[in-house]
Amino acid sequence: MTKDEFAAKLKKDTGVDFDGSKISVPSTAIAEYIAKTLTLLLPDRELIAHGVQIGELKGGHDGWEGKLIWLFSLRLHILVLAADVRYEGAGNKKTSKLHIEHQFYQKERVTPNLRVRWGHVLEHAHLTLHWDGGMIEVFSGSWLSPDALCRFAATILPDKE
């Protein structure tokens, strides 16, 4: 998926599905900001192979609050995009805060570790990504199925020739 395809889909549907892994936001305003950020960050010919979302915003009709972390598998990099979101109120009393941070990691410098638990079916997946000076953990859960996490991991695990 190109960055422009991703941005258009996010703005239209406030979410993008990557083969069972849903990246979503609760409002078109937040979708607009994040889509704009991605189109500025990524080169024109970059492709997004897959993406996963860690966490979801808490709230409802009157507002949302929390931190979203998205991992994108690009051709040569993993992009970690983190958004602190606070959106509350309605009409003229609406207030919002959106702070976005990002970091690119070269896939060749990232060490992935995928652990899975099987019963009759795939029950749980846990992906840890290590790089110089840091790491991030992704667990399957209510918003991310074990299958979807394994499909994401497949886009970043080194090829075995």
pLDDT tens-digit series, residues 12-49: 998 999 988 888 887 787 888 889 999 999 998 899 99
Q: In the chain, where are the structural domains located?
A: 3-154
The pTM is what? 0.86
* CA distances (Å), origin 67, targets 64, 77, 105, 158: 10, 22, 20, 29
Cα(52)–Cα(55) distance, rounded to whole angstroms? 10
pLDDT in tens, 57-113: 777 666 777 888 999 999 999 999 988 877 766 655 566 677 888 999 999 999 999
